[in-house]
Amino acid sequence: MQSSKFNLLFHFCYWLLWTSIGKLGEIKLAGLSVNAQKEMGSKSSTKCYGIPEGKGPYSVGCTDLMTDYTIQGSFFRLYYPSQNGTSSEETKWIPRKEYYRGLSDFLNIYRMLGETLFQHYVGSVTCPAKWNAAFKPGEKYPLIIFSHGLGAFRTIYSAICIEMASQGFIVAAVEHRDKSSSATYYHKENPVCEAQEEATENPNEEWIYYRKLKRGEQEFPLRHQQLQQRTEECIKALDLILGINNGNHVANVLSLNFDWTLLKESIDTDRIAVMGHSFGAATAIKTLSKDARFKGSVHQSFPDFTFLSGNFVGKIFKLKGDIDPNIAIDISNKASLAFLQKHLGLKKDFDQWDALVDGEGHNVIPGTNIDLPSTQPESLE
């Protein structure tokens, strides 16, 4: 069944590629294009696609941090309240072509075809956060460590992270190097500048791609091993950020123009949470059990792809649910904020959405819609 789905994806993308550059040359790929003017098969009015802006009172900035010239270093994207007017540069959603290759591998698409499609249709997508904007000091912000799902990477949940930052949180979206990401990388030594990285292959980079199960291989041992590493990466990111909060110097391998000293004494160390989606949610739970500093929170409606796909392709490839993705993410974000206020003791107005946490509200299911096993699951220890 899984193989059939991926084969369908390949043939459908192949057909779309050739029709879009052939006699239907003016038609954009409705499934991925942020410039799409109309959904395929729809006679409705023009509808554009894009990642939603944060709804909170804070402007949002964004930067990347990579430490150490080994695979053991930390790598995450930071979303944070920012100072207005300190950057006009939009944040690129998928920053490197190697991520297209990883996504292609994960989806079982030929790399050349996948890279062409992704580059053409989402290569220009940006996030509503200012790249390297100056951090806004003067307040104590709660901190969230965010863990992505299988086949994702640090930028794919920007809609959630940007909303949290716009509401006054600092969010570190970790990019896991346990081979559960579509793609990730680290610098082995002496990196070139980012501008050069975009133009040429960097021999000092080591890329790590998604590790698929081998024929006949049991999944649990692999996921168990990955879960242990992911947990350590979340804890390591927390240690790093708290060190920055204490005034420790941080050396960024990526040589980005961002002043980390502004974060000194800006973290509310009594209000730290870990969040995640899918396998990232399992990571969040495991991290909670390992580190008491985290106070806590925990399917395709959540990654950013849902905002960049029309109904036709979105339904076929299950990138969309039955409700509008903007409504779905808004419900999820409000419920998360209400949960965080309750468990972190925040003095905000997020308690206005407490009913969502209790399963009350339109499009909300109380309890769970998943059939839980009657026996206790095997321990992840």
pLDDT in tens, 87-106: 999 999 999 999 999 999 99
Instruction: Answer whether residue 27 is part of any domain.
Output: no
Supply 377's token pair: 């699951």
Model confidence band, residue 324 (pLDDT cutoffs 50, 70, 90): low
Dist. CA 177–CA 335, nearest whole Å? 30
Tell the burial category of 167 from Cβ atoms under 10 Å away from its Cβ (0-12, 13-18, 19+). Answer: buried
Question: Does 32 score more than 50 pLDDT?
Answer: no
Instruction: Answer whether residue 350 is part of any domain.
Output: yes
pLDDT for the residue numbered 219: 94
Dist. CA 107–CA 93, nearest whole Å? 19
- The phi, psi pair for 140, rounded to 5°, reads -105, 115
Specify which residues 82 forms β-bridges with.
Answer: 135
Query: 69-89 pLDDT, tens per residue?
Result: 999 999 999 999 999 999 999
Q: Any idea which of 37-46, 100-109, 327-336 has the lowest mean pLDDT?
A: 37-46
Instruction: Answer whether residue 155 is part of any domain.
Output: yes
| pTM of the complete model | 0.72
Instruction: Answer whether residue 92 is part of any domain.
Output: yes
Q: What is the mean pLDDT of the chain?
A: 78
Instruction: Answer whether residue 87 is part of any domain.
Output: yes
Instruction: Answer whether residue 82 is part of any domain.
Output: yes
pLDDT for the residue numbered 197: 46
Model confidence band, residue 21 (pLDDT cutoffs 50, 70, 90): very low
Query: 150-172 pLDDT, tens per residue?
Result: 999 999 999 999 999 999 999 99
Report, as an integer, the average pLDDT of 282-288: 86
**Cβ contact 87:130 at 8 Å:** yes
Instruction: Answer whether residue 37 is part of any domain.
Output: no
Q: Any idea which of 42-46, 114-118, 337-341, 375-379 has the lowest mean pLDDT?
A: 42-46
Question: Does 246 score more than 90 pLDDT?
Answer: yes
What's the CATH number where 243 sits?
A: 3.40.50.1820
pLDDT for the residue numbered 363: 57
Model confidence band, residue 306 (pLDDT cutoffs 50, 70, 90): low
Structural domain range at position 205: 50-357
pLDDT for the residue numbered 301: 42
**Cβ contact 212:226 at 8 Å:** no
pLDDT for the residue numbered 179: 97
Dist. CA 162–CA 56, nearest whole Å? 9
Greater model confidence, 379 or 325: 325
Number of domains in the chain: 1
Instruction: Answer whether residue 41 is part of any domain.
Output: no
**329: helix, coil or strand?**
helix
Q: Which residue has the tokens 């929170």?
A: 297
Share of the chain above pLDDT 70, in %: 68
Supply 296's token pair: 């806590």
